[in-house]
Structure 1
């Protein structure tokens, strides 16, 4: 009976502030050996999720509705170096030490958009941290849901953040899904937004 792939050793190969690279020496299920490269938010080997066996969220994404009828969704159109282009996403960011995801969502929404965010309590199955791109990183993010009010502002943006806030209605969401570049988690949740009702815009969070 064959075994399974396993990590033999880990070496950290960079010293960066927000993201680092690690080389994993591994043995595969038939006895072959190789090196697998991953990126991680972990600042040390001991903090890697493969070491802690804990899935604490590195960041949050924020699904927020806007307007009296909650008929707009808050998006950001952001420049990303990885593709040298703009992409539509939800407001998002890293969870600071001592924060829970809801607190991080409130802070990040204010910083990126100027809006005031009120989180909605949801069942753990909908907001637990999930892996963002498991083939290349152990990063996980939690989703927070809620509504925002106030006026859009750019005052909280950092110098290297190039962000346009978009309050999109269903017509604009359809156009974005058809024509624009999006993050995959944003695309999936926008598909839900297209079918929400005024009576229950968070219908998809029911645990039934």
Structure 2
């Protein structure tokens, strides 16, 4: 049987509320050993996906269209410490215990933007949790799709959330993709937003 890399031991290095660091002692396919560092939303070693082998979503990303013609998309322009700059993203957040993807999406959209959310049905292959930055973390996020309505409000924001709600049409989306910092999941879905030519803006979910 062909040899492959495998984990020898795991050590938790931090004890934080939302994100922790772990050191993995590993052996590679030719017998060499080393330490690999990962970040995880898991609060304990037992909760890491390398232990459970279950892809339970840590968070949810909300792709919401807005307006009577459904020709605008809801984004946030949020300050991120990792780049000391603002990044255009979709509203997103962690999934609380017992919540469905849709429930988490509606709650997070309301908290971040003040808008209400009406989800559309999507096959599991489009909404299942996908890994975000797998080289550094086991975090995965599910995506929910739907329509936003109501008025923008910042009342639900936490003190450490520095963000601006953006309602963008196609002209503004093109400018953002050309000129601004954009998260990769947001960028790919904005490409769908730009390219659909049918009356159904969620044609790609069918």
Q: TM-score, normalised by structure 2?
A: 0.99
Q: State the distance in 2 between where 1:17 and 1:200 align.
A: 41
Deviation at 1:167, TM superposition (A): 0.4
Q: What does residue 135 of structure 2 align with?
A: 135
Q: Report 1:1-208 matches (<5 A).
A: 2-197=2-197, 199-206=199-206
- CA distance in structure 2 between the aligned counterparts of 1:155 and 1:198, rounded to whole angstroms: 36
TM-score after normalising by structure 1: 0.98
Show CA shifts across 1:47-73 (max 9, x none): 000111100000000000000010000
C-alpha distance in structure 2 between counterparts of 1:100 and 1:59, whole Å? 11
Q: 1:73 to 1:177 in 2, by over 3 A?
A: same
**Is the CA contact (8 Å cut-off) linking 1:70 and 1:198 kept in structure 2?**
no
List structure 1 runs of 4+ shifted beyond 2 angstroms.
none
Secondary structure, counterpart of 1:46 in structure 2: helix
In angstroms, what is the RMSD of aligned CA positions?
Answer: 0.8
SS at match of 1:194: helix
Structure 2: stretches of 5+ with no match in the other structure = none
- In the alignment, the residues of structure 1 paired with residue 74 and residue 158 of structure 2 have an alpha-carbon distance, to the nearest angstrom, of 19
Alpha-carbon separation, structure 2, partners of 1:197 and 1:63: 18
Most deviating of 48-57 and 189-198: 189-198
| Aligned mates of 1:147, 1:27 — CA distance in 2 | 48
Retained in 2: the 8 A contact 1:75–1:167?
yes
Counterpart contact for 1:69–1:198, Cα < 8 Å: no
3-state SS in 1 of match to 2:195: coil
In the alignment of these two chains, the number of paired residues is 206
What 5-or-longer segments of structure 1 have no aligned partner? none
